[in-house]
Amino acid sequence: METVIALIKNPMVIEFIVTMVKIGFIFGLTIGFFAPMLAWVERKQSAVMQDRVGANRAGVFGFTVIGLLHSLADAIKLIFKEDFIPRGAERGLHTLAPALAVIPALVVFAVIPFGGQYTLWGLDVNLVIADLDVGLLYVFAISSLATYGVVIAGWSSNNNWSLLGGLRASAQMFSYEVTMGLTVIGLIMYYQSLSLVDIVAKQENFWHWGIIWHFPAFVLFLACAVAENKRVPFDAPEAESELVAGYFTEYSGMKFVMFWTAEFIEMVSISGMCVALFLGGHHIPFLTQKFLLTALGDIFGPDWGGVVVMLIGVGVFITKLVILLVLQMTIRWTMPRFRYDQIMKLGWKMILPLSLCWIFLVGVGILTGVMPTP
Would you put residue 230 in left (φ > 0), alpha (ψ -120 to 50) or beta? left
Q: What angle do CA 234, 75, 56 make, to 5 degrees?
A: 80
Question: Which class for 93: exposed (0-12), middle (13-18), buried (19 or more C-beta within 10 A)?
Answer: middle
> pTM for the full model?
0.91
Cα distance between residue 48 and residue 38, in whole Å = 15
CB atoms within 10 A of CB 23: 14
**Are 52 and 42 contacting, i.e. CB atoms less than 8 angstroms apart?**
no
CB atoms within 10 A of CB 19: 12
Cα distance between residue 247 and residue 253, in whole Å = 15
pLDDT higher than 80, residue 100: yes
DSSP 75-109: HHHHHTS-----TT--HHHHHHHHHHHHHHHHHGG
Q: Which of 319, 140, 330, 321 is nearest to 224 (CA)?
A: 140
Mean residue pLDDT across the chain: 86
Tens digit of each residue's pLDDT (9 = 90 or more) over 284-341: 998 888 888 888 888 888 888 888 999 999 999 999 999 999 999 888 888 888 888 8
Quote the strand ranges of the chain, DSSP E: 117-120, 123-126
pLDDT-wise least confident of 151-155, 190-194, 349-353: 151-155
Cα distance between residue 241 and residue 9, in whole Å = 60
pLDDT higher than 70, residue 38: yes
Q: Which of 358, 299, 309 is nearest to 127 (CA)?
A: 309
Residues whose CB falls within 8 Å of the CB of residue 9, separated by 6 or more in sequence, listed in order: none
Say what the pLDDT of residue 8 is.
Answer: 58
